[in-house]
Amino acid sequence: MSETSEERVLAGRTVLVAGATGGIGEGVTRALLRQGARVVAAGRDEERLARLAAYVGDTGPGTLVTEVMDVGDADGSGVRDRLAVFGALDGVVITIGDWGNPERTGILDTSSEEWERMIAANLTSHFHTLRTLTPLLKKDGALVHLSGFSAEIPYPFAALVGATNAAKKSLVRSLTAELDGSGPKIYELVIGPIRTRPRAAIGADNPGWFSAEDLGRHATRLIAGDGPYAEAPLQYLITRAQGVRTSPPQ
Ligand SMILES: NC(=O)c1ccc[n+]([C@@H]2O[C@H](COP(=O)([O-])OP(=O)(O)OC[C@H]3O[C@@H](n4cnc5c(N)ncnc54)[C@H](OP(=O)(O)O)[C@@H]3O)[C@@H](O)[C@H]2O)c1
């Protein structure tokens, strides 16, 4: 995942990042800009988008456009109308998500309200996002979605994060099967812990983890339709040592 000027493969292409204000989203945005993309950074909050713009600064050669919008809204018509000006998209990267209550809670102590809240924030929002954004892609475009590795393993005391990750992964894989090669490529990246600025700020950092910009460089290759993983709809990026895999690392 090295970065050289030869890799500015997204020049002239438009990529929407849903959740661009997040720890992963900001790194993905920066990596896409370095590869020459016009990045449409979508977020729900104007101030957070302004902070993203300040963070990426004059990172180029790509260009950044920020759009205040809720891609997870059930009525996608507003999002579709706002994005029409950009024409059909070459890529979409979905990095939205909700970590849930930071206080770890066992399943038996989880309230119905917290259950409903997590399903809405971390699953229904993704369903709406996929339903709204997939048709906006060019037929040869690519959509990259992220789910955490807790989709595959028990995740005690954060079971709703694991359960929604498993459901998101299932949803995206079914979308791939339904399109059956007739539309844009749909990639599901199952990720381990990622190096992001917000996580580093709370002391969660490890040089053995992929970084948010690593994910952005990887997404670049998928959107450009090249590299060794272009034909792999399901990929695992758990640790740098394990690299990119197409089946879960043991
Ligand atoms: N970072 C990691 O190590 C890691 C590891 C495994 C999985 N993941 C998953 O990857 C995703 C992104 O992680 P992150 O660390 O970047 O999280 P983050 O820093 O909390 O950012 C998530 C972004 O998603 C947007 N968002 C949240 N809920 C939304 C909703 N209902 N509808 C639309 N947008 C929403 C927010 O943007 P606005 O509020 O500005 O719109 C927020 O900035 C999450 O699903 C997380 O569970 C992360």
The answer to whether 161 and 155 are in contact (CB under 8 A) is yes
The answer to whether 39 and 62 are in contact (CB under 8 A) is yes
Map out the domains of the chain as residue ranges: 5-245
For the record, the structure tokens of 47 come out as 């101030």
* Second-level CATH architecture of 5-245: 3-Layer(aba) Sandwich (3.40)
For the record, the structure tokens of 242 come out as 């394990």
Q: What is the pLDDT of residue 99?
A: 82
Q: What is the pLDDT of residue 1?
A: 47
For the record, the structure tokens of 188 come out as 């599901």
Distance 102 CA to ligand 1 centre (A): 14
Q: Given ligand 1 and candidates 17, 21, 24, which is best to mutate, with the most ligand atoms within 8 Å of its CB? A: 24
Distance 6 CA to ligand 1 centre (A): 31
Q: What is the pLDDT of residue 102?
A: 81
Walk along the chain (250 residues) in steps of 10 and give the mean pLDDT of each run.
Answer: 62 98 98 98 98 96 98 98 98 94 91 96 98 98 98 96 97 97 96 97 97 98 96 98 94
Distance, in Å, from the CA atom of 207 to the CA atom of 157, rounded to the nearest integer, reads 26
Distance, in Å, from the CA atom of 173 to the CA atom of 115, rounded to the nearest integer, reads 23
Question: Phi and psi dihedrals of 73, rounded to 5?
Answer: -70, 145
Distance 22 CA to ligand 1 centre (A): 5
